[in-house]
Structure 1
Amino acid sequence: MSVAPVDPRRVVHPPADGHGDAGVLGRRPRVAVVGGGIAGLAAATGLAERGVVVEVLEREPYLGGRVGAWSDRLPDGTAVSMGRGFHAFFRQYYNLRALLRRADPGLRRLVALDDYPLIDAEGRRDTFRGLPRTPPWNAVLFALRSPTFRPRDLAGLDPRAAAPLAAVSVPGIYEALDHVDAQSFLESINFPPAARHLAFEVFSRSFFAPPSTMSAAELATMFHIYFLGSSEGLMFDVPDDGFDTALWEPLRHYLIARGVSFRTGTLASSVQRDVGSGRFHVNHSSGGTEVDAVVLATDVPGLREIVAASDLGSVDPLPAGPDALPAWRDDIAALGSAPPFLVYRLWLDRPVRADRPPFLGTGGLDPLDNISVLDRYEHDAASWAARTGGSVVELHAYSATVPTGFDEASWTADLRSRCLARLHAIYPETAGARAVGELVQWRRDCPMFGLGDFARRPGVVTPVDGLVLAGDGIRVDLPVALMERAASTGWLAANRLLAGWGLAGHPLETVPTRGRFGPLRRAAEYAMRSR
């Protein structure tokens, strides 16, 4: 069972007030939500709970997007659960948890992992077990007990360069650091190289991009969310079964009971807006849908394709100015995707050692980024392991750019081989194991948070009335990231449409929106001004 949030300083962002049910409008508005991932499901929930008629269009046969799962089969015919890879449900993910509570009020399908160790190529190991939750002592103790960070290293840090970490505000941190890459930023602070690789690089790669190409503002915001801005700690929960079984099917049933319809396996191709009525026609592989409003909650490639193919003619003049729509289209087209990533799941004929953690992060052990032992927490995997005496292990490789001269199939096979070799070196008992089955996901659909991207990243609101965006690649001026950014933008997209109809929105919660400690924040702000 999940641990409840404890930070008394988390911030509530109240919505606009209004009517509680669309029934007062005479005709209930109809909305198409394009994308059945976290963002789309949050938007659908926010709308349906106010009596709006919602249809969700999802191109995959399953819900959850990059947190999706489905049933597959091993070579011997055994049905097993497969998914898009491990995800950590941190306690700071207030808006994602609010979504999951709709179908699981006590969050009983989330289970806490008691540690989250990290290792590097030298065998050095960091752990989050036993850290205080209260900042800044959580970060200080983590650094001082790390084998990669000696007490004298603390004295060698450049406090002026490090100042932004203590003075994070959104969007201010982006104005200060979005033009700097995360690797250069950490080097300017004088973090020891080993500490950069083992701690910060592990987290930066969770954005599916190497630190040399990722915005330092995103890294600083992440540091704020998990360390200096929150007292929830850095431990997390995981679902107790496949994402479909534990999370999305229960939420689907909750939404169906509130009138939401789902079209899975349905690809939306474009949106047309009727200038006269202001209504929308969504073209998709099952035909078309006529609605009053649209939420585009797709991944970045899908968003680019839909917007490029759409006729979004609008009433003149546009409230945001005559050039707003072309500029917005250009911003959508400019959105980047992170390098591909690999999810490699193996069903082994023997167990891993009993003391192996459920999840292990790795630094400096390219191409491997982490190892999960799924039978430690997922019912489906645990049942298979109990029947066979084996184990279910998952390997991730992020930012796996295919080198020039390689075809993708050959490169993927080579990547799997190198990840497997790393597994055998880190967990030697797996070297003699036979893979009863293996399943692979090779995807490139994560947003890129590159240098200078934030200023032109599209937000929830668009120049077209009745059309809103949601997703983890969409700008939101709140301290959120990854799955929590997806959930937050979904709720905000619903709130924007609800407010237009005079209906009440839904509150959001976040960690504090700026540096938590006044004296430290003021000192950091002074240091930043004097740089």
Structure 2
Amino acid sequence: MSTRSPRPLPPGRDRTAVRHPARPGRARPAAERHVVVVGGGIAGLGAATILAERGVRVTLLEAQPQLGGRVRAWPTPDGRTMSRGFHAFFRQYYTLRALLRRADPTLARLVPVADYPLQRSDGLTDGFARLPTTPPLNLMAFVAASPTFPVSGLASVHLPSALELISVSYPASHERYDGESAAAFLDRLRFPEGARHLALEVFARSFFADPTRFGAAELVAMFHCYFTGSSEGLLFDVPDDDYDTALWAPLGRYLADRGVRLRLGERATRVVPPVAEDGPWRVETDSAALSADAVVLATDPRTTRGLLAALADADASPGASASGRDDWHRRAASAENAPPFAVLRLWLDGPVGPERPAFLGTSGYDLLDNVSVLERFEGGAARWSAEHGGSVVELHGYALPAGLAPEQARARLLASLHGIWPETAALGIVHEELLIEDDCGLVSPAPWADRLTVETPYPGLVLAGDALRVDWPIALMERAAVTGVLAANTLLAGWGVRGEDIWTVPLHGLLSPGGRLVPAGRRRRSPA
């Protein structure tokens, strides 16, 4: 009788999902290890979870009073809830969903959104609820049904550029677009204007960047991940209450039960390398200095540079080659934060129209990029709505213009809301919260090879976060989760401990060798 272990099943509906196995090793380190994780967002939580589950002693530092990072939520003084804004939990997010299952094994706290229409200011609207999930049927159905993509518009499409969307192969396809912005790629694609905005540009802006400063490689990878390369579909789930209640507080309890020290509200100020090759790292905070065998930095590019200022000293880096160190610091210096984004949450004294969707993506409405009606899915907002008879509406604006004052952002977002949903102009605002931040990493058209990765030239120091380079087609929250796991896996491998397997969408497009329509081993002629 065979003693071979059964092949692990894919974590979602897509039977062609790809498993990336961790390096083999022991179950736990041979000696006690202590790791300081800086940053309690998705990336830091992912790293802390994998390390703690393998018996590593973990201290997690988070500057805010709550976990979640850029998917954080917090209470207002009178008991309402504010957050960093709406996030879609796509079913392709295998690693993120596996992380959430630690505290919610059946993902009962995630509820599906029926559809998310995308609307232009001229009224053209697309939706995804009735599309099949399997490529290429989903692509064919979208083109056939979309009002933004009339059959007459096919004549204008640049076919070789369009074929690039379904002939990707990773990791090679990442470098194909070095130096090209998403806007430039869309220009040469020559999609009809409506399809350009709704099918592609709206998604580009979800990376908190203007398409002129956003890398075409990321846009193409996103199109593959969410549409042409995966059978998980374009619909997504959302938490049934605020992020802290539904997701991060339960995960924090899971980590605490496994010995993780959660030091919330404690900001790291500096990371100091070992003074001897086998010496400890030191992480300084506003109130303490922690020694550790290793450090995971799960922070945005600007914060990372500030924390690592001590590493720029050539004499303070045992174990790191001068050439590797200098090139790494050059790459770190070139990493940018994205422009500011705005989140305006409104508690209105009356309801929006019952026909309004729970989530609406927009294009051509000045600063407004999407609108959420929170009582449709968030428990706290639903309770407030039931008690007061009004709606809780959230507005997002990505990539705000430089120098825009908060009151200007507020006024322009409100004006757009009143234009898109006229009934809101007659509703009073009972409460409001405005958040403007600029702590997201920018995925620019700079060369792919120049982007930082999880690994660094310093033994015992690894990075995590959605601004990092990963060779697979992943993005946004899933990239944060994956890099957190990869950071943990890197440290564990150095201690001879087995890490965590990772699953992704398929690595090849429909028309690439190994893709759904071209069997592996067959060569396809590249479009001219």
Give the TM-score normalised by the residue count of structure 1. 0.93
Give the CA deviation at 1:213: 1.6
What is aligned with 1:65?
69
Q: Is the 8 A contact 1:167 1:525 kept in 2?
A: no
Give the letter aligned to residue 364 of structure 1.
Answer: G
Equivalent-residue separation in structure 2 for 1:340 and 1:282 (angstroms): 28
Q: Provide, for residues 79-137 of structure 1, a one-character-per-residue CA deviation record: whole Å limited to 9, x for no partner.
A: 11111000000000000001000000000000000101011011111111110001122
Equivalent-residue separation in structure 1 for 2:283 and 2:203 (angstroms): 38
Give the letter aligned to residue 515 of structure 1.
Answer: G
Gaps of 5+ in 1: none
The count of corresponding residues between Structure 1 and Structure 2 is 510
Q: Is the 8 A contact 2:117 2:126 kept in 1?
A: yes
What is aligned with 2:317?
314
Equivalent-residue separation in structure 2 for 1:161 and 1:198 (angstroms): 18
What is aligned with 1:52?
56
Give the CA deviation at 1:526: 2.8
Matched residues, percent identical?
Answer: 51
What is aligned with 2:255?
255
Local SS of the residue matching 1:526 = coil
What is aligned with 2:127?
127
Q: Is the 8 A contact 1:164 1:525 kept in 2?
A: no
What is aligned with 1:207?
207
Deviates more, 1:156-165 or 1:42-51: 156-165
Give the letter aligned to residue 486 of structure 2.
Answer: L
Does the alignment pair 1:20 with 2:27? yes
Q: Is the 8 A contact 1:198 1:364 kept in 2?
A: no
Equivalent-residue separation in structure 2 for 1:463 and 1:248 (angstroms): 32
Give the CA deviation at 1:237: 0.2
Distance 1:142 1:223, change over 3 A: same
Gaps of 5+ in 2: 1-10
Deviates more, 1:138-147 or 1:357-366: 138-147
Q: Equivalent residues in 2 for 1:181-330 (5 A)? A: 181-276=181-276, 277-310=278-311, 313-316=316-319, 318=320, 321-330=321-330
What is aligned with 1:461?
455
Give the letter aligned to residue 20 of structure 1.
Answer: A
Give the letter aligned to residue 39 of structure 1.
Answer: A
Distance 1:524 1:430, change over 3 A: farther
Give the letter aligned to residue 388 of structure 2.
Answer: T
> Which of 425, 444, 451 is the equivalent residue of 1:431?
425
Does the alignment pair 1:9 with 2:13? no
Equivalent-residue separation in structure 2 for 1:105 and 1:506 (angstroms): 17
Local SS of the residue matching 1:177 = coil
Q: Equivalent residues in 2 for 1:81-100 (5 A)? A: 81-100=81-100
Equivalent-residue separation in structure 2 for 1:194 and 1:111 (angstroms): 30
Deviates more, 1:419-428 or 1:435-444: 419-428
Distance 1:418 1:142, change over 3 A: same
Give the letter aligned to residue 265 of structure 1.
Answer: G
Give the letter aligned to residue 42 of structure 1.
Answer: G
What is aligned with 2:35?
31
Q: Provide, for residues 123-169 of structure 1, a one-character-per-residue CA deviation record: whole Å limited to 9, x for no partner.
A: 11111111000112212221221111111222432221223211222
Q: Provide, for residues 279-313 of structure 1, a one-character-per-residue CA deviation record: whole Å limited to 9, x for no partner.
A: 20111112110000000001222111111244673
Give the letter aligned to residue 279 of structure 2.
Answer: G
Give the CA deviation at 1:518: 4.7
Equivalent-residue separation in structure 2 for 1:327 and 1:447 (angstroms): 20
Give the TM-score normalised by the residue count of structure 2. 0.94
Give the CA deviation at 1:505: 0.4
Distance 1:338 1:518, change over 3 A: closer
What is aligned with 1:474?
468
Give the letter aligned to residue 307 of structure 2.
Answer: I
Give the letter aligned to residue 289 of structure 1.
Answer: L
Q: Is the 8 A contact 1:7 1:231 kept in 2?
A: yes
